[in-house]
Amino acid sequence: QERISQWHDQSSRYSTELRDFKNQVLGMLEAAEKEREAMRAEAESAAVRMERLEREVDYLETQNPAPPCVEVDETLMDKQVATAKQRKNEKYTKLTDCSDTIASVRAMKILKRFGSSSGLWTKDAAGNSEKIYVFDGTANDTVYVFPRMREFTLFSATRKAARIKLPYPWVGTGHLVYDGHLYYIRQQGPSFQVIKFNLANKTVVDSSVFPAEEQIPVFGLSPSTYIEVSADEEGLWAIYATKEDEKNMCLAKLDPASLDIEQMWDTPCPRENAEGAFVVCGALHVVYNTRLPSRARVQCVFDVSGTLAPEDASLVYFPKRYGSHSSLKYSPRERQVYAWDDGYQIIYRMEMKKKMEV
């Protein structure tokens, strides 16, 4: 009876202690929940403030454009002035009446995330095809082809894509689809070739060794791209750089039929901190990183016809992104840029205006 009485006393004491501990734990859980709600409210408030700050920074960036990225060097300036005077006698004869220039980025649309951090996606810059061509990586020989934007957007895998295996691997992200043909860059030893590949019958139509010696990466932030093939209302262009003037880029007009170089220019646009470039109505637009992380802006414009002075060009600001652009492809028929940003595929819709209104 004593042991039974002792067991009842201990059980009663343990029950009381367990009840007290349970009440203590419940109180601690309630306090933790309140603290969690308070922290969530603070985080939401901080996110709202951060978003407001981002909008204010975006507004300040657009209202206070950064100065063009040009080296202040007396010798270089004298050389550029002499080159500019010489170039004035070599006017470019425009093929079209295009007189537009970019005013701003009107909208940004993030399609999806596909492939590696570097790559290229685009449509045919000249034809009416809705096919999407995807180059995953900076060195490969297989191009993915989606029938329409919808299939590319909805499916994460490549099962909806056709595959085109090229006869030679590509290098960099400077390739272009133009009028039913793929123009891509092949490296062969120290030299680079422009390959013209017919997408309909899957054959090489032509190839040409690019007539530039001791080529170097054209963009300081894209070390794998040595030649950027671009298309605009005037036709095909090639953007490149050589050791002869390793600080600045060069521009060449390409004949899409024969791949011959029709005309060449030394531009004042630096390679340093450049991540991409494209041509609009005969004017080279080079995109650079700004001082803020993950931001970029067109800071150098070179118009081959001389109708748009660099100081009068709009220094277009790109909205905040994920990382750095590995490719920027301007579509003259859609007036938008297809960008590859750290594995994300983005469309920038451009607001245009006449050059004489700048």
C-alpha 124/C-alpha 4 separation (Å) is 91
At residue 156, the 3 state secondary structure works out as coil
CA of 184: how far to CAs of 172, 202, 243, in Å?
Answer: 9, 14, 22
**Quick count: other Cβ atoms within 10 Å of Cβ 217?**
18
C-alpha 4/C-alpha 265 separation (Å) is 104
- Position 68 scores a pLDDT of 44
The percentage of residues in the chain with a pLDDT greater than 70, rounded to a whole number, is: 85
Q: Domain locations in the chain?
A: 97-354
Residues of the chain with pLDDT under 70: 54-91, 155-157, 290-294, 320, 356-358
- Position 314 scores a pLDDT of 77
Nearest to 306 by CA among 15, 93, 52: 93
**Quick count: other Cβ atoms within 10 Å of Cβ 344?**
17
Q: Are 281 and 101 in contact (CB under 8 A)?
A: yes
Query: Would the pTM of this model clear 0.85, i.e. be above it?
Result: no
Q: Are 120 and 175 in contact (CB under 8 A)?
A: yes
**Quick count: other Cβ atoms within 10 Å of Cβ 107?**
11
* 234-281 residue pLDDT tens: 999 999 999 988 899 999 999 999 898 888 999 999 999 999 999 999
Q: Does domain 97-354 have CATH number 2.40.128.630?
A: yes
At residue 161, the 3 state secondary structure works out as coil
C-alpha 224/C-alpha 235 separation (Å) is 24
Q: What sign results for the dihedral spanned by CA atoms 220, 169, 335, 125?
A: positive
- Position 197 scores a pLDDT of 95
C-alpha 139/C-alpha 182 separation (Å) is 16
C-alpha 45/C-alpha 171 separation (Å) is 46
* 116-166 residue pLDDT tens: 889 999 999 987 889 999 999 999 999 999 999 988 888 666 777 899 999
- Position 75 scores a pLDDT of 56
